[in-house]
Amino acid sequence: MTTCTICNLCDKPGTLETAVDVTRLPCHVRRFNEHMFTVWRCTNCRSLHSVEDADLPLFYRHYPVHEMKLDPVMEIGYARRLRLLKKRGLQRSAQILDFGCGGGLFVQYLRKCGYANAVGYDRYVPEFADPATLERRYDAVVSYDVIEHMDDPRACLAELARLLDVGGLLVIGTPDAEHIHLETRPFEMELSQPYHRHILSERVLTQLAVEQGCDSEHVFRRLYIDTLYPGLNTRFAWAYANACGGLLDPLFEPVRASVLLRSPKLLFLMFFGYFFPLRSNILVSYRKRRPTQLAAANVAALA
């Protein structure tokens, strides 16, 4: 991993030196909260970039997200995620790859729901690091909260498209840089330093997908945990994390009743936060073009 002072996402790359939107912020994981990082916005494509190098294996070793388990709360969120996939035509017989699956919880959930051909890949998790998984083609490739962690998002998207069969479904969930504000205090949780290396704007994400022969079908502008269940909405989760010191860890620990009871705002968002959605996360569905479509697109580009 290297430092990033020049945008690696657009054809007229902005630089840290010319950026007008720059901030310094701490890591929002308790163990590393004293570590500071610089984030800047490309003046052309509006994507966000993390500057400093970091010992990511060490940071990931203590990443609170690893504490997630397939409990009833996660199943509610995954049920919403699956409903969105079914709306895009996902069939139970489909060959499905969850790229960057972490501990494989969503793969486990899909299989529990009858999607027997679901598999996962994650190079950092031995159970899911089999290279043979990347030698197949799939009817659907899903990748949630992964591309923003990559040093080279363009190469990541190329890999996702390569794994997809012609006509197949590609779904990417990621923060949207266009709706993340560096001047906001407390800092927005989606900045997540140093884990999020490059946060793409929706426009750039779709441009990169088109480069790989995939066309946008649908954009869902919520995080999958946005539900009507009390406490299971992004607005509440981020407000609660900020009330607990701006840290990610409390979201994976027992709820602090004292924090909730002292804040009428938190209690309100706990029950009604769904109706005040944040726009800082997107779930974009793409379809890989068939050869005739790809040829037509190339002719149009040359005209």
**Which tens digit of pLDDT belongs to each residue from 231-258?**
999 999 999 999 999 999 999 999 999 9
Q: Does residue 108 fall inside a structural domain? A: yes
Q: How many CB atoms are located within 10 Å of the residue 252 CB?
A: 13
Is residue 209 assigned to a domain? yes
- On the CB side of 123, CA atoms within 13 Å amount to 6
Q: What is the pLDDT of residue 248?
A: 96
**Other beta carbons less than 10 A from residue 291's beta carbon:** 9
Residue 266 sits in which domain range?
227-276
Q: What's the domain count of the chain?
A: 2
- How confident is the model over 165-187, as a mean pLDDT? 96
Closest CA to 39 of 181, 186, 147: 181
Alpha carbon distance 134, 163 (integer Å)? 7
Q: How much is the average pLDDT of 162-172?
A: 97
> For residue range 46-98, what is the model confidence (pLDDT) as tens digits?
999 999 988 988 999 899 988 899 999 999 999 999 999 999 999 999 999 99
Distance CA 265, CA 38 (A): 30
Q: What is the pTM of this model?
A: 0.92
Q: Is residue 141 part of a domain?
A: yes
Domain match, 146 and 85 both:
yes
Whether pLDDT at 1 is above 60: no
CATH number of the domain to which 288 belongs: 3.40.50.150
Q: Answer for the pair 200, 150: CB distance below 8 angstroms, yes or no.
A: no
97's enclosing H/E stretch is strand 96-99
Domain co-membership, 294 together with 239: no
